Amino acid sequence: MRKFLLLLTLPLLLASCCDSSDKGKTKEVANITDATVQSTIKSISEKHAGISSDMLERGVKHAASLWRNVDGTEADFKVFCKDHFIADEATKEIMFEKVSRNLEVLYGHFNKISLDLQRPLHEPMGEIIDVDKAFGGYSAQSHLTEDLYRNKLAFNIALNFPYYTLTEKEANASSWTRKEWAYARMGDVFTSRVPAEILQNVSEVGSASEMYIANYNIHMGQLVDADGKTHFPKDMVLLSHWNLRDEIKSHYSKGAEGVKLQGMVYEVMKRIIDQTIPADVINNGAYQWNPSTNETFKDSKAVTLESEQNGRYQQIINNFHAMRQIDAYSPLNTAVKRAFAGGMEITQADAEALFVEFMAAEELKQVGELIKKRLGRDLQPWDIWYDGFKARSSIDEDALNKITRTRYPDAKALDADLANLLLKLGFTQEKADFLAERIDVDAARGSGHAWGAAMKGETAHLRTRIPETGMDYKGYNIAIHEFGHNVEQTISLYDVDYYMLNGVPNTAFTEALAFIFQKRDLELLDMKNDNPEKEALQTLDNFWSTYEIMGVSLLDQRMWLWLYDNPDATADQLKVAVEKIAVDIWNEFYAPVFGIKDQPILAIYSHMINSPIYLSNYAFGHLIQFQVEQYLKTADFAPEVERLFKIGSITPNAWMQAGLGENISITSIIEEAGKAAEQLAN
């Protein structure tokens, strides 16, 4: 269902640009008064004796919240509701099945159109010309949502299958039948009707922020130390913050010089956070810059440059103002609620409580000590990105390449082997054939991806890059990851009992299966992984990156709550607030592990600017993935994979309860990390 929401919110956004005919008129505002809502409810309950007053009230109120002048007068609304409210269950079920079938027809075909139009972009089908890009970017479904309001189907659906809040869904989770869940998901299809120009503005401001980040490059070859010496390759240009972070990661095995370079990158990050960075060293290699002293030079002569002047924080403020305009039109009346209760289906309060509990775990100190020992030095703030827990196999990669190249000379060879791979994982012949028939392997231009179908009868696509010489091991490893996605996509479409429940609650669930498949890649080549520390290393790698991303996510959450408390804040005030929140989080949760205070490093993430309120998704992803993987480690693999991914897209906590018998929790990851740290310390 999250898929549907995506399909329906995105098109709405795109539709908006071409639908300005009624601009400036009052049609964009809900025009149904409370009195009309009440009299409508009254007249319907008089018409049908003994109906559920809860369903009736919900339905009428929800439909009223979506109705606009352009849809008709208040009297029209009342007549519409009276005519279309379904009182008896049998008729309602027929309507549900018909709507469900037709949504599958629409979503399924639109998905297929996009997939087919983008084929020349994704598969090697000759040179890509402008026409390919234009067709690839075309969205056939962009007018769907508005069309469904115009022909009143949206109101009919909203009236009879009303919206439930996350709290209501969770409260009902244990008592709802599958059909009631499916009805509730139908109620999520039309939840808000935001004026086109507001969505357009959100999209424009968002694009501007993306551009801002995409052009935030640092010319590393121009960084100088106190002696005027450069340490990075002359033409190295790194994008903030991802490339900067990866540069830090790449210096872990390089001794004292490595630490020095990591320190220089960190100085750059601090200048970005506090905005003292000279504007002319961003995306510009004309000056030498000492990030430690903030001195700048042109041809070795000192020059004075202006600092960036809070451009970074202005982007966040712009996004906040644009997104806040939606508040009045959504049952989730803040951007924070829409991102959490709406998008992730976990409340912000629950997220914060879980993150805070995780970051206070004693095991973090234990792992911090282990890292210190492995590095042979005290921890530095940037060691939140320590990457020394990667398991290296002693199997020679050339030998693996030889095997994969022979087995998979082309996409067809992998396609023909899918059922066999599933048999090795323990699926029955029948199930293996069923799944393999519904997954097609295509040669890809890029590194590949998994693209699922959105209606039964269509196949999922595994896109993988295979060179002329055959598939190399790295490509094979990624292809097995994508195959895991395809298996999830196929089970959760074909085997879920109601189309409205197809899919998984969010991307963490599909990533879990993809990584589980990927980890078994050697097994699928009939080989064994030889590193006895592999499991422990993977656990600690996951544990440490969860720690890092949770701090960053908590900062993102608290910054947005602060913005709602201070809606008129200037960029300068926001900067001060973000620095304070970042340092507070550091001092509470990182200083005890790192032994250093007052570090602002958590504020460097670019996502805070170009993906508003998204970071917590990654943090939850880590937890959910770990729990699902942990569960499947000891489970009867294939039958349990089938059972889990048949659950479908109910809420994340309800899925975890139904699947694993527990809520999303930090307990097992912390326990396992403690054990792993002990194993590696010995």
Burial of 114 from C-beta contacts in 10 A (0-12 / 13-18 / 19+): middle
Q: Which is nearer to Zn ion, 514 or 581 (CB)?
A: 514
Q: Shortest distance, CB of residue 27 to Zn ion, whole angstroms?
A: 42
Q: Shortest distance, CB of residue 572 to Zn ion, whole angstroms?
A: 40
Task: Determine the Cα–Cα distance for residues 344 and 507; give it in Å rounded to an integer.
Answer: 10
Containing 621, the helix (H) or strand (E) segment is helix 615-634
Applying CB under 5 A, what is the total number of residues that bind Zn ion?
A: 2
Q: Shortest distance, CB of residue 621 to Zn ion, whole angstroms?
A: 10
Handedness of CA 311, 315, 316, 317 (dihedral sign): positive
Q: Which is nearer to Zn ion, 149 or 483 (CB)?
A: 483
Question: Where would I find the H helices in 438-533?
Answer: 473-494, 507-519, 521-524
Apex 47 CA angle, 42 and 50, nearest 5: 85
Q: Which is nearer to Zn ion, 489 or 653 (CB)?
A: 489
For residue 470, give Cα distances in angstroms to 301, 436, 473, 518: 54, 21, 10, 19
Q: Shortest distance, CB of residue 40 to Zn ion, whole angstroms?
A: 47
Q: Which is nearer to Zn ion, 551 or 621 (CB)?
A: 621
Q: Shortest distance, CB of residue 673 to Zn ion, whole angstroms?
A: 23
Question: Where would I find the H helices in 360-410?
Answer: 363-375, 397-407
Q: Which is nearer to Zn ion, 104 or 511 (CB)?
A: 511
- Residues 454-493, mask of contacts with Zn ion (x by CB under 5 A): ----------------------------------------
Q: Which is nearer to Zn ion, 58 or 481 (CB)?
A: 481
Q: Which is nearer to Zn ion, 289 or 515 (CB)?
A: 515
Q: Shortest distance, CB of residue 482 to Zn ion, whole angstroms?
A: 7
Query: Which residues are 449's β-sheet partners?
Result: 463
Q: Which is nearer to Zn ion, 82 or 449 (CB)?
A: 449
Q: Shortest distance, CB of residue 449 to Zn ion, whole angstroms?
A: 8
Q: Shortest distance, CB of residue 459 to Zn ion, whole angstroms?
A: 19
Residue 198 DSSP SS3: helix
Q: Shortest distance, CB of residue 527 to Zn ion, whole angstroms?
A: 23
Nearest CA among 450, 437, 442, 517 for reference residue 482? 450
Question: Does 623 engage in binding with Zn ion (CB under 5 A)?
Answer: no
Q: Which is nearer to Zn ion, 188 or 511 (CB)?
A: 511
For residue 255, give Cα distances in angstroms to 252, 259, 385, 392: 7, 7, 16, 20
For residue 310, give Cα distances in angstroms to 218, 321, 570, 571, 604: 17, 17, 10, 6, 14
Q: Which residue number has the CB closest to Zn ion?
A: 514
Q: Which is nearer to Zn ion, 247 or 511 (CB)?
A: 511
Q: Shortest distance, CB of residue 409 to Zn ion, whole angstroms?
A: 25
Q: Shortest distance, CB of residue 649 to Zn ion, whole angstroms?
A: 17
- Residues 146-185, mask of contacts with Zn ion (x by CB under 5 A): ----------------------------------------
Residues 496-515 that bind Zn ion (CB under 5 A): 511, 514
Q: Shortest distance, CB of residue 196 to Zn ion, whole angstroms?
A: 33
Contact 274, 572 (CB under 8 A): no
Task: Determine the Cα–Cα distance for residues 64 and 46; give it in Å rounded to an integer.
Answer: 19
Task: Determine the Cα–Cα distance for residues 389 and 533; give it in Å rounded to an integer.
Answer: 10
Q: Percentages helix, strand, coil for the chain, rounded to the nearest 5? A: 65, 5, 30
Q: What is the DSSP letter of 392?
A: P
Task: Determine the Cα–Cα distance for residues 162 and 386; give it in Å rounded to an integer.
Answer: 48
Q: Which is nearer to Zn ion, 67 or 618 (CB)?
A: 618
Q: Which is nearer to Zn ion, 498 or 515 (CB)?
A: 515
Residues 514-553 that bind Zn ion (CB under 5 A): 514
Task: Determine the Cα–Cα distance for residues 379 and 222; give it in Å rounded to an integer.
Answer: 27
Residue 297 DSSP SS3: strand
Q: DSSP for 634-680, please give it.
A: HS-HHHHHHHHHTS-SS-HHHHHHHHHSS-S-SHHHHHHHHHHHHHH
Residues 411-440 that bind Zn ion (CB under 5 A): none
Q: Which residues in this chain contact Zn ion in the complex, by CB under 5 A? A: 511, 514
